[in-house]
């Protein structure tokens, strides 16, 4: 074993927002690639019950789990960590539209606060899960990292706000990487069905049809959740010539029009009808993204999954589970529904703080 590998194996990794969609896949990836790392999770627990299969326990692999609101970490005893991976977020536009203030507090302000804390405590790196949605209405030209931004939602604005402030914290001793991920998709123990490809697969399986609520022409770059995990591990240990780095993460051949995604899903399942609403208003959230810098900096991460593989794994993810809700858009696998359910039961308040 090399000295570098030994150093990696001793790393203490804090995954903030580990009880979400990406977290369980990332933890499994760590266990395969760096089995001796100390893995710790910090999460408020909103979505801990959002399992595709409630009989499958996925949270036993961590060395330590901390339940806390990321907005209140100043009042708890935080563990020592070499790397902080910040996944915590109000994680899509519908939730951000309903909960605009908590979106800014969790996605932006809490991320910056935690980076400052761990910088002062001697951590080496901070990885922030940002989003290509910051490009907003980008047209047909592929957006590079230094192109102008056009955030259309509270979610996108929160990601930009965090990036701007995190840049001021990075140093030669504390590298910060903001990964502007393409739209996530793919199988997970905590599956989300409020993501475009995942929605299409669930609709095809459970309803035998895919209804596109726009004209189908918007561009959307996608990335499988396992490829997201590879990027996170790369960012954790990247060369620190640049103390702060913002990077589009995805692959050129994964820029798709929405209609083409629906057709691809239908080809993997027999008897599925694709319906486009010709009278729908155009979706302004249309953007293609240039991923050439990621290809240059992380050449070993370019062997991405095929779209058909991701679709097949999503089909298996749903078929092998106990989930059979025909009206899946009202289920717990839609994150906004989970927050509404918690509020209806008076478990959380309007600002998304837990009630005692």
pLDDT in tens, 303-312: 788 999 999 9
Q: Which residue has the tokens 């000295």?
A: 3
Res 6 pLDDT > 50? no
Contact 183, 196 (CB under 8 A): yes
Confidence of residue 3 (pLDDT cuts 50, 70, 90): very low
Q: Which residue has the tokens 């806390």?
A: 68
Q: Within a domain: residue 116?
A: yes
Length of the chain: 356
Instruction: Count how many domains the chain has.
Output: 1
Q: Within a domain: residue 260?
A: no
Specify the pLDDT at position 234.
Answer: 96
Instruction: Enter the tokens of residue 188.
Output: 């997970």
Average pLDDT over residues 244-268: 94
Specify the pLDDT at position 280.
Answer: 66
Specify the pLDDT at position 303.
Answer: 79
Residue 64: its H or E element: strand 64-67
Q: Within a domain: residue 105?
A: yes
Average pLDDT over residues 266-278: 88
Specify the pLDDT at position 136.
Answer: 82
Q: Within a domain: residue 71?
A: yes
CATH number at residue 17: 3.40.50.720
Res 256 pLDDT > 50? yes
Whole-model pTM: value is 0.93
Q: Within a domain: residue 65?
A: yes
3-state helix, strand, coil in the chain (%, to 5): 40, 20, 40
CA-to-CA dists, residue 329 to 148, 326, 348, angstroms: 34, 9, 22
Q: What is the pLDDT of residues 323-348, one digit of tens each?
A: 887 789 999 999 999 999 999 999 99
Instruction: Enter the tokens of residue 118.
Output: 């761990």
Expressed as residue numbers, the domain containing 83 is 3-191+219-254+285-304+335-344
Instruction: Enter the tokens of residue 237.
Output: 């240990």
Distance in angstroms (rounded) separating the CA atoms of residues 230 and 236: 10
Res 27 pLDDT > 60? yes
Specify the pLDDT at position 219.
Answer: 85
Specify the pLDDT at position 241.
Answer: 81
Higher model confidence: residue 231 or residue 9? 231
Q: Within a domain: residue 14?
A: yes
Q: Within a domain: residue 93?
A: yes
Question: How much is the mean pLDDT over the chain?
Answer: 90
Q: What is the pLDDT of residues 172-222, one digit of tens each?
A: 999 999 999 999 999 999 999 999 999 999 999 999 999 887 778 888 899
Long-range contacts of 302-307 (CB under 8 A, 24+ apart): 302/251, 304/223, 304/224, 304/227, 304/251, 304/253, 304/254, 305/186, 305/224, 305/226, 305/227, 307/222, 307/254, 307/256, 307/261, 307/264
CA dihedral sign of residues 291, 296, 297, 299? positive
Res 92 pLDDT > 90? no
Q: Within a domain: residue 20?
A: yes
């Amino acid at each position: 074993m090399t000295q570098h590998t030994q150093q990696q194996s001793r790393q203490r990794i804090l995954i903030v927002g580990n009880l979400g969609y990406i977290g369980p896949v990332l933890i499994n990836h760590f266990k395969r690639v760096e089995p001796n790392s100390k893995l710790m999770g910090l999460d408020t627990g909103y979505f801990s019950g959002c399992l595709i299969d409630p009989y499958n326990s996925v949270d036993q692999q961590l060395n330590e789990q901390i339940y806390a609101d990321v907005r209140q970490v100043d009042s708890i005893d935080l563990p020592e960590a070499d790397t902080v991976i910040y996944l915590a977020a109000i994680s899509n536009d519908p939730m951000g539209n309903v909960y605009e203030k908590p979106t800014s507090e969790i996605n932006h302000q809490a991320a910056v606060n935690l980076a400052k804390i761990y910088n002062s405590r001697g951590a080496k790196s901070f990885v922030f899960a940002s989003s290509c949605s910051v490009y907003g209405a980008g047209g047909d030209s592929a957006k590079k990292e230094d192109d102008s931004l056009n955030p259309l939602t509270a979610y996108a604005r929160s990601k930009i706000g965090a990036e701007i402030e995190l840049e001021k914290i990075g140093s030669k001793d504390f590298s910060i990487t903001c990964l502007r991920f393409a739209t996530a998709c793919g199988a997970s123990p905590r599956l989300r069905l409020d993501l475009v490809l995942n929605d299409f697969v669930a609709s095809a399986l459970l309803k035998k049809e895919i209804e596109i609520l726009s004209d189908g022409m918007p561009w959307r770059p996608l990335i499988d959740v396992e490829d997201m995990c590879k990027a996170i591990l790369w960012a954790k240990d990247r060369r620190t010539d640049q103390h702060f780095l913002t990077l589009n993460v995805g692959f050129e051949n994964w820029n798709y029009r929405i209609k083409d995604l629906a057709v691809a899903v239908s080809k993997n399942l027999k008897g599925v009808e694709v319906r486009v609403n010709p009278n729908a208003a155009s979706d302004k959230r249309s953007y293609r993204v240039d991923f050439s810098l990621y290809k240059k900096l992380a050449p070993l991460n370019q062997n991405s999954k095929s779209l058909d593989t991701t679709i097949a794994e999503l089909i298996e993810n749903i078929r092998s589970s106990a989930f059979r809700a025909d009206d899946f858009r009202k289920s717990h696998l839609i994150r906004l529904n989970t927050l509404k359910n918690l509020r209806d039961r008076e478990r959380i308040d309007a600002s998304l703080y837990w009630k005692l």
